[in-house]
Chains A and B, each alone.
Chain A
């Protein structure tokens, strides 16, 4: 065939052939262009997806009152620690702004609670009230540690919230039940939590939520002011005072007395805290000593030398029967459920 004939044959091909032939040419650069676009957007998408510590965004058009530089948000309480960690009280924060910031990061909060032996009885109220008040609108995973999984009540959960039941052993002594929590939290942080949640909140179970507990508490490491000691001089704090214990704090040191019933932070920081407290407990045991307030004593020692990045006011841990409702507490958010100590703590 001559060249002109060959060309003529090609030109005479069907419209379909012509389309295919035409497509094969722009296809490669088009695909390449597409790939480049994909890489560009994908990188941008991924790199913005992880929470950025500063400059947490809010959407335009959000309306709220102007903060006034010469008007303290609270005139009756300390709202900032000397190391510049906010102390969270009602009136110091805007839930709208914070919710927006945390929703944009799509955070997931894990809430750990131990319901061992008779303490399973507290679970229903704990979970039901958490559903109403805890991190509403955000993703939540409850981690219920128990020695009796069959007794975990079935509580309907809102969207974006789930519950995991994790089996643990029980101990004869309630002090050991309390102290084992540090070891378990440390272990599960490594094995599981760091892949599933961004923040961990570790709480006692014999409690109920009665008002908002939200993202204002979230921070790399937070502790909560014990409601019985927020007015006290540091010498009156119930720290461990025997130098032989790992939890020892001398009388001239100490910022606050934190309560063991509510602490938390990023998974990594909580893991570090729980691991350190567990090691300290083990060391004490080997030395034949048990800290006066068990895991709480070790928690206080840890938070003295590893300053928390937020401190929660006693609004976040209250006992109304013991302490009433003083005017400085504008809200009672998370409160003790009355219990018969002897009954609950016996086998």
Chain B
């Protein structure tokens, strides 16, 4: 700081924590009122009060009454659901000594549900959601030639994605005029967001993180409660509903859900921000489908974008681009729900394991050379 007495300041004015403490300033400027004018002190005090006040207020805003630290929330709190009052409903009794699935793990070691067919009662969940009047945003990027996938994506989403709930499609594209006209059901709307494209497909993919992060701040947090971030070269084949919604969710990659963690295609070079050592890792999540509350998605996408910028400055690009960074993030910020590979299946996988009772969201075959080149 070097204002009054440098050597003394280095001893007394410690790290960040100290900066918050008013007393630190008295230490830094011991009895030398001539060192700084009075109005600076007043300004300082006002600013500290303002910032504390704002921080306090904004943290209140982020934390709706009664939720914090968990998943429930007061009405309109995007970071979870409220424990709402249900009406009388008839359904089979859950049996305590009968697992819902005997062939799959249905809860992670940090007690996040893993969503497979048979683990949830959709009527109960729909009821809970309707009572909170929530809106789900679905982001998708149709840049350059990828526009060709959008029609089937939207049409099948209309049949299978969050049916009966409020949905806003956010279509990011560099060619807004080419966005197809798809008939939408009631309570659903489509917003076209103009963005720049990049020459390399890897950059198109990676910059989604930056764009989602920016728009979350500017727009999404005012318009929707949850965000679902998806690849566009996909089709919905079966129900994808509110069972996926939670403060933060990732999806198991269909090619790795039976693999040992050593075989996960994490970034293995220490120099990268996405580096994960051989003896760490829960799951390998796919970059094509993740989401959560707007606040959580904003944190995730912002963190991934920053990490990619740091890598870029060091001249390294993670082996699977945004997916590598997503995996690093979700290792250290555990998701509150994990979706089974039912929620992202690959058309290139010729047969599927009997554990998959449904294939809900499936990649569309594409000619990689053709689609990724100008």
Contact = CB atoms under 8 A, between A and B. Distances in A.
Given A30-B1, A42-B19, A58 B332 contact: yes
A18 interface: no
Contact of B128 (A70, A83, A199): A83
A60 B328 CA distance: 10
Contact of A233 (B93, B100, B282): B93
Interface string A203-239: 0000000000000101111000100001101100000
Contacts of A57: 332-334
Nearest to A219: B70
B247 A53 contact: yes
B275 to A, nearest CB: 10
Contacts of A20: 34
Nearest to A68: B105
B296 A105 contact: no
Given A27-B35, A46-B56, A305 B85 contact: yes
A105 B110 CA distance: 15
Contacts of A23: 3, 35
B272 interface: no
A70 B111 contact: no
Interface in A48-94: 49-64, 66-84, 86-88, 92-94
A55 B296 contact: yes
Interface string A265-303: 111110110000000000000000000000000000000
Contacts of A69: 104-105, 114, 252, 257-258, 283, 340
Interface in B111-159: 111, 113-115, 119-121, 124-125, 128
Contacts of A266: 66-70, 72
A51 B72 CA distance: 13
Interface stretch (A4-12, A252-260, A333-341): A252-260
Contact of B40 (A28, A97, A272): A28
A199 B69 contact: yes
Interface size class of A (residues with CB under 8 A): 35 or more
Given A63-B279, A80-B107, A272-B83, A198 B68 contact: yes
Contacts of A255: 93-94
B85 A93 contact: no
A170 interface: no
Nearest to A36: B47
A45 to B, nearest CB: 7
B83 A230 contact: no
B102 interface: yes
Contact of B36 (A31, A66, A230): A31
B63 interface: yes
A220 B105 contact: no
A79 B107 contact: yes
Given A69-B283, A72-B101, A234-B93, A64 B74 contact: no
Interface in B44-63: 44, 47-48, 50-52, 54-56, 58-59, 62-63
A280 to B, nearest CB: 13
Interface size class of B (residues with CB under 8 A): 35 or more
B12 to A, nearest CB: 15
A307 B89 CA distance: 12
- Pick the most buried of B34, B103, B110, B293: most chain A CB atoms within 10 A of its CB: B110
Interface string B324-353: 000001101111110010000000000001
Contact of A93 (B52, B111, B243): B111
Given A83-B120, A198-B68, A310 B83 contact: no
B281 A66 contact: yes
Interface in B62-112: 62-63, 65-74, 79-80, 83-91, 93-111
B52 A82 contact: no
A165 interface: no
B246 interface: yes
A43 interface: yes
B283 to A, nearest CB: 7
A328 B93 contact: no
A199 B19 CA distance: 30
A325 interface: no
Interface of B: 1-3, 16, 19-20, 34-36, 40, 43-44, 47-48, 50-52, 54-56, 58-59, 62-63, 65-74, 79-80, 83-91, 93-111, 113-115, 119-121, 124-125, 128, 243, 246-248, 252, 257-258, 260-261, 279-283, 292-293, 295-296, 299-300, 329-330, 332-337, 340, 353, 355
20 contacts: A38-B47, A43-B51, A47-B62, A54-B79, A54-B248, A54-B293, A66-B260, A67-B283, A70-B355, A72-B104, A73-B105, A81-B94, A82-B120, A83-B121, A105-B69, A220-B73, A221-B83, A234-B93, A266-B72, A272-B66
